[in-house]
């Protein structure tokens, strides 16, 4: 199952988040890795400051149970597929897939 974020204009720079609280229970986030599919559909790490397939990871943060990525750029009318991979303090790993449409506003 994949989730959907509200559309973003290619000229906007906005925060998008994944709330892990329902998954974590008493555990805490120990690490987050963001991925985006590249132009050939391969899941590629999107590190802070990097651009993959036209979308830019400006910054990323963890606040409590919420992982946030600040995104810039993007290709108009393109549907990006992001993956947020979370590791908790007990060593459990989980992933959430989120779609983001770039749409002229």
Query: How far is CA 4 from each of CA 1, 16, 28, 33, 99, rounded to the nearest angstrom?
Result: 10, 10, 24, 18, 5
pLDDT the model gives residue 105: 82
Give the span between the Cα atoms of 77 and 16, in whole angstroms.
18
Average pLDDT, the chain: 96
Q: What is the pTM of this model?
A: 0.94
The mean pLDDT value for 40-51 works out to 96
Half-sphere exposure of 40 (CA within 13 A, CB side): 2
């Amino acid at each position: 199952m994949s989730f959907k974020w509200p559309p973003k204009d290619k000229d906007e720079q906005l925060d998008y988040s994944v709330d892990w609280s329902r998954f974590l229970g008493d555990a805490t986030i120990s690490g987050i890795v963001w991925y985006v599919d590249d132009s050939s559909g391969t899941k590629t790490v999107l590190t802070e400051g990097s651009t993959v397939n036209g979308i830019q990871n400006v910054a990323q943060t963890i606040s409590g149970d919420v992982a946030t990525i600040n995104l810039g750029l993007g290709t108009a009318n393109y549907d990006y597929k992001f993956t947020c991979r979370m590791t908790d303090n007990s060593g459990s790993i989980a992933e959430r897939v989120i779609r983001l449409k770039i749409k002229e506003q």
